[in-house]
Amino acid sequence: MAKDVRKVSPMRFGLGGIALALGLVLGGAASAATPGVALTNVNLRAGPSVGFPVVTVVPARAAIVTYGCLADTSWCDVSFAGARGWIAASYIQVVYAGAPVVLAAPVAPAVGVAVVGFSQAYWNAYYVGRPWYGQWNRYYGPYARGPVVHAGATRCSGGTCTHVGVTRGPAGNVIVRRGTISR
C-alpha cells in the first residue's frame, strides 16, 4: 500500500535528503531523470494545466520518466512511450526510501527531481507538427486559467461585409482580427 506523503514529516528525510535538496537548489544543475509510474489513467498534456491539449493518455501503472516539476511541485515534465508532456504530480508515484509514494513537494528533491519551468521553447521543441502547435497564444498562461472569449461585429452594406473581432485568451492575451468580404 502506498504511503500518504502528506502525513510524512520533512524531518523524516534526514540529513541526506536535506543535503540533496540543498545541492539541487544551490548547485543549479538539473538532476537525472527519475523513473516512476502513473497512478491511474491520466492525460499527458502539452503544458502544466488542464487547459492545455492532450498529447496522449498514459495508462494506469505505465512506466514514465520524470525530468522535473514546477517549483510548487504541482505539475511535472514527463515522457511516456516516446511522447513528452506534463502530468499533475499527484498522479505520479516514485520510489522513496524503498517504498512507493506519490510525488509531492517534500519527496521531489529527495528522489532527485529538479525544478523546471515551462516556456514556448519547450512547446517548440516537442510539439511541432501537432494539430494545435500553431495555437501557442490560445494556451499560453501563465498557464491557461479560463475560457477564450471572442467578441466581434459584422456590418454589411452594398454587397460588402466587414468584420472586426477581438479574442481574449485565458491570460489576457488579445488577438484582433479584421476582414472584408465582397459578394
Is 144 within a domain? no
Encode burial over 84-101: b for 16+ CB neighbours within 10 A, e otherwise: bbbbbbbbbbbebeeeeb
Q: Which residue has the higher pLDDT, 9 or 181?
A: 181
Residues 116 and 154 in one domain: no
pLDDT in tens, 95-142: 998 899 999 999 999 999 999 988 889 999 999 999 989 888 777 654
Residues 161 and 75 in one domain: no
For residue 170, CA distances in Å to 42, 150, 165 come to 23, 11, 16
Residues 165 and 94 in one domain: no
pTM over the 0.75 mark: no
Q: What is the pLDDT of residue 70?
A: 92
SS3 112: coil
Q: What is the pLDDT of residue 134?
A: 86
Domain carrying residue 158: 149-182
Question: Euclidean distance between the first and final Cα of the chain, in Å?
Answer: 69
Residues 84 and 160 in one domain: no
Tell me the average pLDDT across 55-82: 95
DSSP secondary structure, 13-74, as one string: GHHHHHHHHHHHHHH-PPPPPEEEEESSSEEEESSSSTTSPEEEEEPTT-EEEEEEE-TTSS
Residues 154 and 134 in one domain: no
Residues 40 and 127 in one domain: yes
Mean pLDDT of the chain: 75
Total tally of structural domains belonging to the chain: 2
pLDDT in tens, 136-172: 877 765 444 455 555 666 677 787 777 676 665 555 5
Is residue 24 scored above 50 in pLDDT? no
Residues in contact with 172: Cβ distance below 8 Å, sequence separation at least 6, in sequence order = none
Distance CA 87, CA 94 (A): 14
Look at residues 162, 160, 161, 132 and name the one whose alpha carbon lies nearest to residue 148: 132
